[in-house]
């Protein structure tokens, strides 16, 4: 699967030729304190969204971590489409995709956390809005 698009984003967005980062499942577990229920900040068709701290390079980032649940109404096609679409876009009105984890049955998306926005609306419906 390619993470690049053939066309740069419109002028209101910046284009990043670098794909987002692939995290290990261990990194995701650490960031979410093993998917602690007290860290759940939203739910959607994809599954639960957790607030966590993820290490990206030498920086610890506040993140919204979206985990696919078994029996979810969304699946692998939507997961990879969201990665491909959002990994190349950066815009002040879009939540940035930091990375993802695909490890066996585990599919997780990692976004920057936007504390002043309704994450359930932004993160849980992002595939439907595209």
State the alpha helices, DSSP H only, in 47-115: 76-86
- CATH 1.10.1040.10 assigned to domain 14-129? The reply is no
Q: What is the CA radius of gyration of the chain?
A: 14
**pLDDT tens digits along 41-72:** 999 878 899 999 999 889 899 999 999 987 66
pLDDT for 71-122, tens place per residue? Answer: 666 788 888 888 988 887 777 777 789 999 999 889 999 998 877 655 455 5
Say whether 48 counts as a known binding-site residue. no
Q: How is the chain split into domains, by residue range?
A: 14-129
For 17, which DSSP code?
-
pTM over 0.85: no
d(CA 128, CA 130) in angstroms, rounded, equals 6
Do residues 123 and 51 make contact, with C-beta atoms less than 8 angstroms apart? no
């Amino acid at each position: 699967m390619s993470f690049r698009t053939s066309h740069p984003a419109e002028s209101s967005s910046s284009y990043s030729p670098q794909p987002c980062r692939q995290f290990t499942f261990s990194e995701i577990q650490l960031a979410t304190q093993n998917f602690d229920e007290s860290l759940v900040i939203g739910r959607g068709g994809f599954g639960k969204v957790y607030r966590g701290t993820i290490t990206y390079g030498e920086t610890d980032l506040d993140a919204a971590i979206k985990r696919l649940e078994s029996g979810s109404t969304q699946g692998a096609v939507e997961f990879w489409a969201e990665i491909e679409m959002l990994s190349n876009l950066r815009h002040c009105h879009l939540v940035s995709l930091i990375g993802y984890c695909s490890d066996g049955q585990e599919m997780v998306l990692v976004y920057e956390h936007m504390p002043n926005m309704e994450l359930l609306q932004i993160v849980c419906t992002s595939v439907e809005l595209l």
